[in-house]
Structure 1
Amino acid sequence: MTIQQAPFFWINISLLLGIICSDYFTFISFNTTIILLVINWCLFSYLTFKKRKANKLGLITLLLFSIFLFGNWINQYQKQSFSQKNYQVIVEKVIQKKSTYIEGYLVNPQRLIDSKVSFYLPNQYLIQPSDLLVIKGRCILQQEMNQYLKSKGLFHQLKVDHYCVEQQGDQTYKSKYRKMVYHTFDSSTRGLALALFCGDKSELSDQIKEVFRVSGSLHLLALSGMHIGILVFIIHSLLFWFQWIPKQWHPIKWIFLCVFVFLIIQFVAQSASIQRASLMLYLSSFSLVFRKQINPINIISFTSFVILIKAPFLLYSLSFQLSFLAVFSIVLFPYWTHIIHLKWYKKLFVSVFLMGILSNWFTFPLILHHFEFFPIWGIFSGLLSGVLLSLMMYCGLLTLLVSEWVDLNWAFDLLHQLLVGWLSLFLQLPQLPSFKLSEDLAYGLVVCIICITYGGYQKDKAWNRIGSFTGLVILTLHFYYQ
């Protein structure tokens, strides 16, 4: 499957460029963007209706430019100031200091895009995540934006005059589910269980985090698309009996998988990776049922497009960037059809090894930029850690389901010890020295690697030239401004 066969790839690129350019070319006002968008869309509609007077290239150019302007508009829209009498906020993050710092989602159905706010409260009442607060005050734009606020979409700040807790978070089904996980597992494995089944890493010890970080397995602690994939594989395996029923009933299996994933993600902490994995599953299932084939590049591009329309600030989130780049690197690899025909044990080993390499291939410049460290042994630790993690999730689900009748904590504890023991082996090996890439060099290198890699896969010299030219320009600008 090639990029030329994925029209949504180019549509998504136009949206990305529109969002990025709106931050750099601030002289284009919000109203000007709306006027340009309306004019361009009217021209596109007119030429589409008058087919004889339009050529294909012109229509495509107008369409992509419309998407570009739309990306510019939604990025400006999320930063527009607004006011209302009372503000309802669902608490997402709480930090207790001299005063209580809170981040949360603003419940405002009049806003087209989800709005997030930050504010401070006095330490007079214990506020918890998932609490619903009613606040009376003023909503203003952040005075000093930094990379963290930008990546979280925290463009607005509340100046609180009065507030009250309308609904406590511990009464929600998410909190009840978290309590069940917390009390089911032993103290030694509780931190990892909460991370795997709730997306909550607050109970993990610093020692466990360091073991996972150095071994290149830190992504295993963040509930992500890989964990959704493991759950889908488990449920798909349990539905093996569908092979014995008539084929016209097989689509029910995919419907069941989608419903199962939809219900699961209602109980866990949301992330860009979770949204990406669930939406890709829905689209893939739909494509398999109705078209009998999948275009993975089109699906991942459409998924990115939908997520960014709802929350354009996620483009600056490292979680979003790493998740999509890792999956994009995997789906671009053109030789999976050859690997499928290998014997099962060879297929398993080669697939796990290649996915370890490919998931790091497009992302390593960003890892060096943000963490100043690249876990070289992550490629090898993943050969066994993925299998152990799959067994832990399968065993953990059974433990949660039958905890009232049978205690399976011993099995989960054993797998936990095996996983930590395996990853601890890599702590003894020499590590790469710390190295930091500048922001412009890191992102330029990502574009360069993508173009050259795709050109190598497709034997297309044009993509190789684009990648080489991009790399040369980025290096020149980098050393010029040093």
Structure 2
Amino acid sequence: MNSPILFLHQNPFSRIVIALIIGIIVGIYFNIIGISFFSFIIAIVLYTLKRFVFNKDEYKFRWMHGMAFVLVFVGIGNLVCILHKEAIQSVPEEQTFIATIIETPTEKPRSVLITVDLQNKAINSYKSVLFLQKDSNALNLSEGDKIITHVRLKETDLSFFNNKGIYATAYVTSTQWYLMKINTKFSLKNKANKASKALLGVFKDFINPNNFGLISALTFGDTSSLNSEIKQDFAKSGSSHVLSVSGLHIGIIYIAFSFIFSFLGKNKIGTIFKHICIILCIWIYAFLCGLPPSVVRSAAMLSLISGAYIFQKKSATYNAVFFSAFLMLLYEPMYLYDIGFQLSYCAVLSILIFHKKIYKLIPLKNKILDNIWSLTSVSIAAQLGTFPISLYYFHQFPTYFLLSNYIAIPCSTLLIYLSICLFFTSFIPIISGFIKTVINYIAEYMQDGISYICNFPYASINIEIELWQVYAIFGLILSTYMMLTKRRFCYVCSNLCIIIIFLTNGIIVDLCKLFTTFAEV
């Protein structure tokens, strides 16, 4: 990574995304549509001045084009956010609705979660979540189905729902709803969910019941069969990312098909065809996973990165990441506050920025040791980009995350590859029987290993930080990186300033606690 200014110049979509994010934040806190029009007017004025008045000294006034460019996307971000917020209405009173299921139903231990669009004579459209009493009728529902229900919605302030534009939920018993219309229209997502359930049905015939939850989570992101103890162990050890299909899993598939189609990369045309095949395979896998948002996001990001490699430009890789973020935020501005969105993009950018530098710190000639170090450097790079966010939301730091990733990542990679092999050989008893035995052994080893690490002393350290400290930690990480690579005094000064701010804040907090104690006495 070059200097931050040069990086922004080389990657124009980074500037677009930053401007869009600023606009979204302005829209959330101020909710004034006039800000967008003001931004557009100032942008037009700056562009006109640069084009017709200060056109002789282009270098001196070059900032005008850049500022106009930024203001346009700040205005767009503000406008998109306000339009999104205006679509959200106050929570309606108890009444009867026609509810159209707009997302794939999710099976819970005692209920079935459905995201619906509610409609009646008084309300044109209202997005909410209903928890249906678990029975055979609720389990048979699919996206696009319509039900009639009489419910009293309750307002929810859970950020998980609010970030998706959902501000009300309700629990609905079996007697409070009935099926109005089954969706008969073609739905790609419905087809994907049926394919995913069919594949899980194949695995269920082979996999040990104690391991089925882990296998279904690793391969297709289905955590409904995963018990809470396993979830807790993986979260505590810092390896919970393997339990939901996301960038890691799509990356594993990408590596596999890169190897399979490696014979095509002999020339330029072959390279283009190779990456087209890889992108196609990535989306087939995403389809088999049921096309959940996290998988679609990762597949889109990696597809753009794969396309960037055709042009053999590193900047194109960064631009591909920022372009996918731009599209996601333009579609749903509240993704900005989605934890999965934040962790996903921070991890990818952190790996792109830090991985090669960390990897080159220890050159190894032994191939086995080199592969181990490569895995370690990826884990460290990803952790650098995600741990400030994890501390802010989850208030804990997994001390042995490197150790747990030595178990979680290789095992999950093997389990994904073996699961694919099991599917294709399920009709051959001898081969499928052998693969089944290996899968069950690896799954048990993985669960036991993660559980063992969780019992280590200080396996997880509880740390609570504020939002400004998240930004400060990111600033410290980037400033330290620039200081070590560019060796400039300005980065030393920025590091010292951030550290002094942290220390000063700690002293002020301690003094406030001391004064509060004396006041109480």
Q: 2:305 aligns with which of 281, 284, 292?
A: 284
Counting only pairs closer than 5 Å after superposition, residues 48-447 of structure 1 correspond to structure 2 as 50=52, 52-53=54-55, 55-81=61-87, 88-94=100-106, 102-104=114-116, 117-119=128-130, 125-126=137-138, 130-134=142-146, 145-155=157-167, 164-167=180-183, 172-184=191-203, 185-186=206-207, 187-242=209-264, 246-270=267-291, 273-291=294-312, 293-333=314-354, 335=357, 338=360, 342-343=364-365, 344-405=367-428, 406-407=431-432, 408-432=435-459, 434-447=461-474
RMSD: 4.0
User: TM-score, length-normalised on structure 2?
Assistant: 0.77
How far off is 1:353 after superposition? 1.2
How far off is 1:135 after superposition? 6.1
Change (3 A) 1:19 1:466: farther
How far off is 1:424 after superposition? 3.1
How far off is 1:426 after superposition? 1.0
- Distance in 2 of aligned mates of 1:60 and 1:106: 44
What is the DSSP-based 3-state SS (H/G/I as helix, E as strand, rest coil) of the residue aligned with 1:167? coil
- Distance in 2 of aligned mates of 1:395 and 1:45: 58
What is the DSSP-based 3-state SS (H/G/I as helix, E as strand, rest coil) of the residue aligned with 2:68? helix
Residue 459 (str. 1) matches residue 487 (str. 2) = yes
Output one character per residue of 1:167-223: Cα deviation in whole Å (capped at 9) or x when no partner. 289973422332322332422322122112221111012332233223221111111
- CA contact under 8 A between 1:135 and 1:163: conserved in structure 2? yes
Residue identity opposite 1:279 in structure 2:
A
What is the DSSP-based 3-state SS (H/G/I as helix, E as strand, rest coil) of the residue aligned with 2:462? coil
* Unaligned segments of structure 2, at least 5 residues: 90-96, 120-124, 514-521
Residue identity opposite 1:254 in structure 2:
H
How far off is 1:77 after superposition? 1.4
Q: 1:13 aligns with which of 12, 18, 32?
A: 18
User: TM-score, length-normalised on structure 1?
Assistant: 0.82
How far off is 1:350 after superposition? 1.7
Output one character per residue of 1:353-390: Cα deviation in whole Å (capped at 9) or x when no partner. 12222222232233223223211111122124322221
Output one character per residue of 1:400-431: Cα deviation in whole Å (capped at 9) or x when no partner. 11112242211211221232233233133112
- Distance in 2 of aligned mates of 1:115 and 1:278: 30
Residue identity opposite 2:390 in structure 1:
I
- CA contact under 8 A between 1:6 and 1:297: conserved in structure 2? yes
Aligned length: 471
- Distance in 2 of aligned mates of 1:276 and 1:430: 37
- Distance in 2 of aligned mates of 1:296 and 1:141: 45
- Distance in 2 of aligned mates of 1:363 and 1:387: 21
- CA contact under 8 A between 1:131 and 1:165: conserved in structure 2? no
- Distance in 2 of aligned mates of 1:318 and 1:45: 37
- CA contact under 8 A between 2:36 and 2:79: conserved in structure 1? yes
- CA contact under 8 A between 1:325 and 1:363: conserved in structure 2? yes
- Distance in 1 of aligned mates of 2:270 and 2:190: 39
Residue identity opposite 1:426 in structure 2:
I
| Identical columns (%) | 22
Residue identity opposite 2:128 in structure 1:
V
How far off is 1:465 after superposition? 5.0
Output one character per residue of 1:260-287: Cα deviation in whole Å (capped at 9) or x when no partner. 1122112225556534432332222322
What is the DSSP-based 3-state SS (H/G/I as helix, E as strand, rest coil) of the residue aligned with 1:200? coil
- CA contact under 8 A between 1:297 and 1:332: conserved in structure 2? no
How far off is 1:253 after superposition? 0.6
- CA contact under 8 A between 2:221 and 2:289: conserved in structure 1? yes
Output one character per residue of 1:64-104: Cα deviation in whole Å (capped at 9) or x when no partner. 12211211111111122379x97743234457799976324
- CA contact under 8 A between 2:346 and 2:386: conserved in structure 1? yes
- CA contact under 8 A between 1:92 and 1:130: conserved in structure 2? yes
Change (3 A) 1:77 1:340: farther
* Unaligned segments of structure 1, at least 5 residues: 108-113
- Distance in 2 of aligned mates of 1:45 and 1:204: 57
Structure with the greater alpha carbon radius of gyration: 2
Aligned to 1:449: 476
- Distance in 1 of aligned mates of 2:70 and 2:451: 50
What is the DSSP-based 3-state SS (H/G/I as helix, E as strand, rest coil) of the residue aligned with 1:103? strand
- Distance in 2 of aligned mates of 1:12 and 1:391: 36
306-315 or 287-296, which moves further after superposition?
287-296
